[in-house]
Structure 1
Amino acid sequence: MKITEPPRTPGQRKQELLDRLERELDVWVATADREGLPCLVALWFVWDGEHLWLSTRLTNPTGRNLREGGRARLALGDTRDVVLVDGEVETYTREEVPEAAARAFLEKTGWDPGRDSASYAYFRVRPVAVQTWREVHELHRRHLMRDGVWVV
């Protein structure tokens, strides 16, 4: 495949990222346990303008890793339109989750994890680093956020 489009500006990439966070439903979630055993799974997510909200069981590897490790890497897109988000994770039981977050999750996905099973929890991911790129010509300006601050 040849690169035929000029690189997007960082501002264009940030706006496209924000649009995708509102529009897309699934995100790849990468975590690791205490021994470093990786786990990768796709989950539904909701973007509230500052955080990504996920939900899964506390009893599965992803839920345990999110709760115990407090970090995750999230990925959107394919190899020609990549978004990587490194984030810090906070865990909320179905009783603790803010009502607005639970309502937004239900509105976007049609699923209420809190009603599904007591083993489901919500996980709020605060982005600390965000990278986006299409093809090699955007790699040198791929960082949109560093240390939790937008650089664009």
Structure 2
Amino acid sequence: MTAVDSQPSGPRSPEQRKREALERLAGDNDVWVATADATGEPCLVPLAFWWDGETVWLSTRDTNPTGRNLCASGRVRLCFGHSRDVVLVHGTARTLTREELPAEVGDAFAAKDGWDPREDHPSYVFFQVTPQVLQAWGTVPEMAGRTLMRDGKWLV
């Protein structure tokens, strides 16, 4: 049973949604990653991630569409959860090669996912996504007040 399913009535408070969004960031295994190229061609893929408490770390090849788009624009949207309990993050991504990546970040990413991109193909790079906007909602009654972070600052 999800938090939305177990609601007695009415929308969750912003504080509860923030708490549950942070739990999702810490506990989910994968995230939907949306990017676009310079012509606007969209790309949507699931990727493993690690949340360090402030930023989301992703890894993918710099030669695939998602990697190329992130390297070129640094713009990304991340979607955690499902359609009735979603956390949507609009963020900016910074590219780091495996040589630039702090060892503790690579170790934590590998420990969480059970896969270490640093030991995979050389085209794997890392992206540090800094949230600019974070929204969390379950159903229509939660649409109002769904923005919990704006300009990288928590509103709650």
TM-score, with structure 1 as normaliser: 0.96
Q: CA deviation at 1:5?
A: 2.9
Q: Does 1:22 align with 2:26?
A: yes
3-state SS, counterpart of residue 13 of structure 1 = helix
3-state SS, counterpart of residue 132 of structure 1 = strand
Given that 2:84 and 2:138 are in contact with CA atoms closer than 8 Å, whether structure 1 keeps it comes out as: yes
TM-score, with structure 2 as normaliser: 0.94
Q: CA deviation at 1:123?
A: 0.3
Tell me the distance in 2 between the aligned counterparts of 1:6 and 1:94: 46
Whichever residue aligns with residue 5 of structure 1, its letter is S
Whichever residue aligns with residue 120 of structure 1, its letter is Y
Tell me the distance in 2 between the aligned counterparts of 1:113 and 1:128: 26
Tell me the distance in 2 between the aligned counterparts of 1:112 and 1:5: 43
Q: Does 1:67 align with 2:71?
A: yes
Tell me the distance in 1 between the aligned counterparts of 2:112 and 2:128: 16
Aligned with 1:41 (options 45, 63, 69): 45
Tell me the distance in 1 between the aligned counterparts of 2:13 and 2:92: 27
**Which residue matches 1:112?**
116
3-state SS, counterpart of residue 102 of structure 1 = helix
Q: CA deviation at 1:116?
A: 0.4
Q: CA deviation at 1:76?
A: 1.0
Q: Structure 1: 5+ residue runs without aligned partners?
A: none
Q: Structure 2: 5+ residue runs without aligned partners?
A: none
Q: Deviations over 1:119-139 (max 9, x none)?
A: 000000000000000100010
Aligned with 1:148 (options 138, 145, 152): 152
Indicate the RMSD between aligned Cα atoms, in angstroms: 1.3
**Which residue matches 1:122?**
126
Given that 2:29 and 2:113 are in contact with CA atoms closer than 8 Å, whether structure 1 keeps it comes out as: yes
Whichever residue aligns with residue 84 of structure 1, its letter is L
